[in-house]
Structure 1
């Protein structure tokens, strides 16, 4: 099982989400740690190669976690946020891309 490494404020952002959302996203991240695919995800090519977005929706809204799992040493959590509109905000994509560069990858 790969360890999780949280980049920037991603852990704090995840902790601020409602408890049921944290639980659901935690299970999805654990699935990724074990090398499997989350139940609802999509590639985030605008962030960088190998970046994916876990998608979760419940009564309190739509929540996302952007991560990179292609490295052998860890699963990197780049960004965790609540979506406010149908399309992912450019600021969220840009922040994840900036953090992507911090782990030694180039988009």
Structure 2
């Protein structure tokens, strides 16, 4: 990812950790509430997306970062949505195990 894209995503995550929302962060469609957010950044190389969740009290989980390859439409491609769903499920399991001594 280009440096300015990394900077945007990093700042968005920093703001999420501080309990704030980046100006470019929007709820990812298909995930109900605003607990799963997406930041989209464009560069001359294409469009990049970072998806993270703020559903859990003790951590921000980055679920997926990728370059959108398709040039048609703005929807997130199904394979990427599938990755987000699987990683959200893993994050839920990890968050549920916090405090029991497991890492």
TM-score normalised by length of structure 2: 0.76
> What RMSD, in angstroms, separates the aligned Cα atoms of the two structures?
1.7
Residue 80 of structure 2, aligned match among 85, 92, 95: 92
Per-residue displacement from partner, 1:65-101 (whole Å, max 9, x unpaired)?
Answer: 1100121100000000011223211000010001000
CA contact (8 A) 1:47 1:96 kept: no
Tell me what 1:101 maps to: 89
Per-residue displacement from partner, 1:9-30 (whole Å, max 9, x unpaired)?
Answer: xxxxxxxx12221112111111
Tell me what 2:96 maps to: none
Could you tell me which runs of 5 or more consecutive residues in structure 1 were left unpaired when the two chains were aligned: 1-16
Could you tell me which runs of 5 or more consecutive residues in structure 2 were left unpaired when the two chains were aligned: 94-103
Residue 36 of structure 1, aligned match among 4, 13, 20: 20
Residues 91-100 or 40-49, more deviating: 40-49
Quick one: distance in 1 between partners of 2:69 and 2:31? 19
Q: Which has the higher contact order (CA 8 A, sep 6+)?
A: 1
TM-score normalised by length of structure 1: 0.73
